[in-house]
Structure formats: structure tokens, C-alpha cells
Homo-oligomer: A and B are copies of this chain.
Amino acid sequence: MKNKKKAWIFTASCPSVLGTVDLVTRYMAETKNYIEEIHSFDDHSAERFFIRIEFQPQDDNFNAESFSEGFSSRATEFDMQWQLTTAMHRPRVAILVSKYDHCLNDLLYRHRTGQLNIDIAVIISNHPDLEPLAKWHDIPYYHLPITKDTKPQQEAEIIKLVEEYNTELVILARYMQVLSPKLCDHLDGWAINIHHSLLPGFKGARPYHQAWEKGVKMVGATAHYVNNDLDEGPIIAQGIQHVDHAYYPEDLIAKGQDIERMTLFNAVRFHIEKRVFLSGSRTVILGN
């Protein structure tokens, strides 16, 4: 069986030219790293190449630094951006919530049982309600109330906390506030939001009410990276459910919770497993 403890993940992207795969795989062979799994994609519209490799070093004293050093010059030639991560890496995560706890509860459960290889470093909320849940999981909880006037200060505090706790991923687990452009910029590319509609349909507030008005037969959820264009960040994962005429908006809200948390979980998992690449405003997701 797989030995995840020893596995490493190598990801890279660069312009599409001959020899990109060989550049990487030859180096893997030369450094005696056994490739467990390899996936690549060429985006013809962007003329860009993406690759993800899971490998097992055969040398017990595998040294990431010397691996990186040796590869750097080769990568430069191909203008390749790349990353090396041990599969055991547990990213430190900050979770932002409001009052709905279905996404938070799901993340905490998967974190607690080892399904999600993250370290939830801090939970931040504009409401005090979910503190007991955080407490039971022994995770610091900060209640940062927000008003129109205090928004800049509150957001500054969020940024400060996220930094103090050394987090490398921020999850907006139904945080019911529109982020300022400044905070969006700060979080660009390393924060995941869950929106309760199949974006770009039903952007903005109260998407389930919008969906009900239209009489749709399916509603869904979208997990996406935060950027400075509200509800327009690159889509990572989407989920869906069938509904019918008997679902009033409150029923859609209730039923939607299962989709939201599954979709958010999937997106977080893809992200921490280094499966997600950006190609313009779209994502490439390898080997999920």
C-alpha cells in the first residue's frame, strides 16, 4: 500500500514548449525519485502547460533543498514556476464564519478525524455564537463584531490574526460579509469562499431566494478563490442538488447546506493536495 509519509508532491506550470515533461521526469529519474502518479494538461487557449507529480524518494535521506537547488536552473530555462511539498505537510488554516455552522462543523469534523490534512489554527467570526464549537475542538476563536463604521478596523484585525497565526490558507466558511477590495487583494489566491449558488448564476445576496423566484429544478454551490471581483473568483468546485416546487426558500437553504459543505470540503482538499492551478480566470485541477 501507499506510504504517504514518504511521498512528495511536485507541481509546475510554464509555457507550452517541447521538452517540459522530459525536463521534470528526467530529473526525477536522475535523483532516484519514484513517480507514483503523474498528470499533465496543456491549455491550448492559454498555450500553457501544467503538471503534478506524486513521488517517493528512494533515498531515505531525501533532501528537499538539494532537490530544489538542482532543479532551479533547469526550470529557469523553461520559465517554469514550480513547487515542492511533502505530502505530510499540514497547512495552517484560518476559518472565517458568521452564524451558520454547517461548513465549520464539517471542516472541524474532517480535521478531527484526519480526513482533511490541515491544522486549523484560528477561527474568526463577526458573531459570538460559534465559540463553544471552537472551544470543544480546542481552537482559538476571535469574535470581531463589525459595523459599517468599524469595517476597516475589523478587517485590519482579521489580517493581523491571519498573519500572527502564520496561516497559509483562509477559508470563508459562510462568512456573511462583503469583503472590502483591500481585504480581497490581501487574500487573492490563498483564500477559498463558498457561495450558495452555481455561479455565475444568482450572484450576490440571497441566492436561494433568487432561485426560488425563478422556479429552478436544481440549486447548487460554488467554491472559488477570493479575488477582488465579488463572486467572480476562479471556480474550484461546484455541487448540485435536485429540488422541486415543494421547496420554499427556507427549504432550499436547509437542503443546500449538505451541498455547500461537500463542495467546500472538495475545494479545500484539492487546494491542500496541490491539485489546483490557475490558468487565467479558470482553474485546472489535476488528478482529483
Scan A225-253; emit 1 where CB is below 8 A from any B CB, else 0.
00000000011111010001110101000
- Interface residue tally for chain A (C-beta within 8 Å): 67
Contacting pair A245 B285 (CB below 8 A): yes
Those of A41-74 within 8 Å (CB) of chain B: 41-45, 51, 58
Interface hits, A1-43 → B, CB 8 Å: 1-2, 16, 18-22, 25-26, 28-29, 32, 34-43
Which residues in B have their C-beta under 8 angstroms from that of A281? 214-215
Stretch of A141-149, A174-182, A216-224 at the chain-chain interface: A216-224
Contact A245 B284 (CB under 8 A): yes
Which stretch of A87-95, A101-109, A188-196 is in the interface?
A101-109
Among B109, B262, B279, which residue has its beta carbon within 8 angstroms of that of A245? B279
Q: Which B residues touch A240, using CB under 8 A?
A: 218, 240
Cβ contact within 8 Å between A238 and B254: no
- Asked whether, in the complex, the Cβ of B34 is within 8 Å of the Cβ of A29, the reply is no
Q: What B residues does A76 contact at CB under 8 A?
A: none
Contact A44 B248 (CB under 8 A): yes
- A39-B41 in contact (CB<8A): no
Q: Most chain-B CB neighbours within 10 Å: which of A21, A234, A284?
A: A21
Given A28-B22, A29-B21, A38-B38, also A216-B238 (CB < 8 A)? yes
Within 8 Å of chain B (Cβ to Cβ): is A283? yes
Q: Given the known A-B contacts A246-B41, A285-B244, are A105 and B109 also in contact in the complex, defined by CB atoms under 8 Å?
A: yes
Q: Which residue on chain B has the smallest CB distance to residue A239?
A: B218
A32 to B26, CA, bound (A): 15
In the complex, what residues of B have CB within 8 A of residue A20's CB?
35
Q: A22-B29, A281-B215 are contacts. A245–B43 as well, Cβ < 8 Å?
A: yes
Q: What is the bound-complex CA distance between A77 and B2, given in angstroms?
A: 26
- Please, which residue of chain B has its CB at the minimum distance from the CB of A287? B39
15 A-B pairs (CB sep. < 8 Å) = A1-B45, A1-B248, A22-B29, A25-B26, A36-B42, A37-B40, A38-B40, A38-B51, A39-B39, A41-B246, A105-B109, A200-B216, A214-B282, A215-B282, A218-B240
> Lowest 3 A-B CB distances belong to which pairs?
A215-B282, A22-B29, A201-B201
